[in-house]
Amino acid sequence: MNYLAHIYLSGEDPEIKIGNFIADSVKGKQFIRFPEKIRKGIILHRAIDTYTDAHPIVKQSVTRLFSEYSHYSRVIVDILYDHFLAANWEKFCDIPLRVYVQDFYNLLNKNHPILPKPVQHFLPYMISDNWLYNYSTTEGIGKILWQMNQRTGGKSRMNLAVKELRLYYGEFEEEFFGFFGDLERFSKEKIMVL
């Protein structure tokens, strides 16, 4: 899953949200230098990624893209699933998406000193381009995929995957809904035992 799902799946605790959000920038055992609840968020993030990668419905989505995008297919599916979460946000959360993401940006700004350097670097761009809110449109996803392609020096060609999103929109959406309920249950159970 990508940023929005990781934040949402963290529940209500702000520190778990921060940990879940920054986890990709925290390598190996570096997580032990963070406060306890942020560590829990990092561990939760890793558990969510492991669960997601092994889920048969996610594998089905990845397979649809694999011939075109190879090992980048998993990253693309993570981003596409965030789109379906954002586009159907009112089915998951009572707080409007625009308010939810602004509250999260405020939380990150308030805790800026504890964020890893890579996160501190991209955060201003994330906020100014409002990545989390813009996941809700195919145009916004297109921009995110373009930025991800830039990060790979153009090798991933992820920017082209918006074509498959449009072509197989119904299939991806059905797979997202089939998978996300399982992931919500898994995440809630994991938080209780962390």
Indicate the pTM of the whole model.
0.95
Give the per-residue pLDDT at 35: 97
Q: Is 9 exposed, middle or buried (0-12, 13-18, 19+ CB in 10 A)?
A: buried
- pLDDT tens per residue, range 99-111: 999 999 999 999 9
Q: Give the residue-averaged pLDDT of 40-53.
A: 98
Q: Give the residue-averaged pLDDT of 20-40.
A: 96
